[in-house]
Amino acid sequence: MGIVNVTPDSFSDGGRYDTTETAVEHGRHLLVEGADILDIGGESTRPGATRPLVAEELGRVVPVIRELAGDGAVVSVDTMRAEVAEAALAAGATIVNDVSGGLADPRILDVVAGTDADYVAMHWRAHADRMRDFTDYSPDGVVETVRRELGDRLEAALAAGIPHERIVLDPGLGFAKEPHHNWELLEHLDVLAALGCPLLVGASRKTFLGRLLAVDGMARPVGEREHAHAALVALLADRGVDVLRVHDVRATRDALAVAAAMRGDQ
Ligand code: PMM
């Protein structure tokens, strides 16, 4: 899944693709590099970010989705809002990627249930401006707590009428998580896979990789985390992850090719 952030302020690529034209061009580039899905988002979820107005979010994503879906691409919309999901599906998206797992706007579950779209439910606790206050995973620890809270979101999606086979779960790396929480979740993805849905993982360019590579307490800058991410992708290849949400599709494809070759599967 290649990322197209149509935002002025995303932590990873904010402002680079914030017009319809540049975003569409970027999406086409990711397809050439081998993306199977394009994830189009109009709201930055970077820690501390403030939310765009609904009209702003719609204006960012809908024209880009219309163009790229018109090209024949499989398009996912990265939104927490029912209204945006509805417009995106009407414009040709077939997947709703909801980083709040239905918590931010529960009506989004009904919107998805009323179509045959797939639904990604990510583990989430609070909007970006407050998520740093929600990193306490005691007493059960991050893996068990995320399994339970994500399990609740799965139940909510099923109760709204989204069939099990159309639901994908995501541990939500970096969302109300300290770096060590992300590593623990990556180490124990099997616990989340036991919920019985495909898994999506989004580690690309995130702060925990920057922290891992820090020198003298200074995190590695966002644009210089790709090698670490490719190494992670290769290691995740045999861990039952079904979808990787990434900025650099080519590096990801290369890492997956190496992992496949090492399995004797060329
Ligand atoms: N991360 C971001 C945005 N959307 N969606 C899912 N399903 N999983 C993620 O981990 C995720 C997401 C934030 O990263 P970005 O600003 O680089 O897009």
Strand, helix or coil at 63?
helix
Q: Is 108 exposed, middle or buried (0-12, 13-18, 19+ CB in 10 A)?
A: buried
Q: What DSSP string describes 188-241?
A: THHHHHTTSS-BEE--TT-HHHHHHT-BTTBPPPGGG-HHHHHHHHHHHTTTT-
Give pLDDT, residue 84. Answer: 98
Catalytic annotation present for 206: yes
Q: What is the pLDDT of residue 4?
A: 97
Query: What domain count does the chain have?
Result: 1
**Taking Cα atoms as reference points, which of 33, 42, 43 lies closest to residue 73?**
33
Give me the pLDDT at residue 16, please. Answer: 85
Specify the ligand 1 atom closest to the Cα of 203: 10
Query: What are the residues whose beta carbons fall under 8 Å from the beta carbon of 186, sequence distance 6 or more?
Result: 171, 173, 201, 203, 232, 236
CATH number of the domain where residue 95 is located: 3.20.20.20
Structural domain boundaries, residue 156: 2-263
Query: How far, in Å, CA of 232 to CA of 74, rounded?
Result: 25
pLDDT of residue 89: 98
pLDDT tens column, 141-155: 999 999 999 999 999
- pLDDT beneath 70: ranges in the chain: none
Centre of ligand 1 to C-alpha 79, Å, is 10
Q: pLDDT tens digits for 173-200?
A: 999 999 999 999 999 999 999 999 999 9
Question: Would the CB of 101 count as within 6 Å of ligand 1?
Answer: no
Q: Does residue 99 have its Cβ closer than 6 Å to ligand 1?
A: yes
